[in-house]
Amino acid sequence: MRDDRARLLDIIEAATRIEKYTVFGRDRFDVDELVQNWIVHHLQIVGEACSQLSAELRDQHAEIPWRGFVGMRNILVHQYFGIDLEPVWLAATSELEVLSSVVHEMLVELDNRDGRT
């Protein structure tokens, strides 16, 4: 079973892969179906990883809207024919940036706690 550290690394990896294409801007996102699918897929990974984090770890970082990322994952998985791209873009750009920053801090905290530094 994967632990919190592995799930946090999943979030970082997915966010990095999303950023690889968001840097090209909203216009490219709006017209390129492959970029849309890439970003949606990796947002699903983020949401799944968030849902698998321990309640203890999520509670320690209540400033992150964990349920929002999990909820978005559920919408992306189950409503795939009717996905509204506006919230996808917003999550992939501004919301994910905040999450990534906090997740990096969480990894440092975990590493310090576990003596990995």
Would you please indicate which residues are annotated as catalytic (active-site) residues? Answer: 73, 78
Distance of CA 2 to the CA centre of its chain: 17
- How many C-beta atoms surround the C-beta of residue 90 within 10 A? 12
Residue carrying structure tokens 């490219």: 28
B/e letters for 29-52, b = 16+ CB within 10 Å, e = fewer, are: beeeeebbebbbebbbbbbbbbbe
Distance from the Cα of residue 63 to its chain's centroid: 15
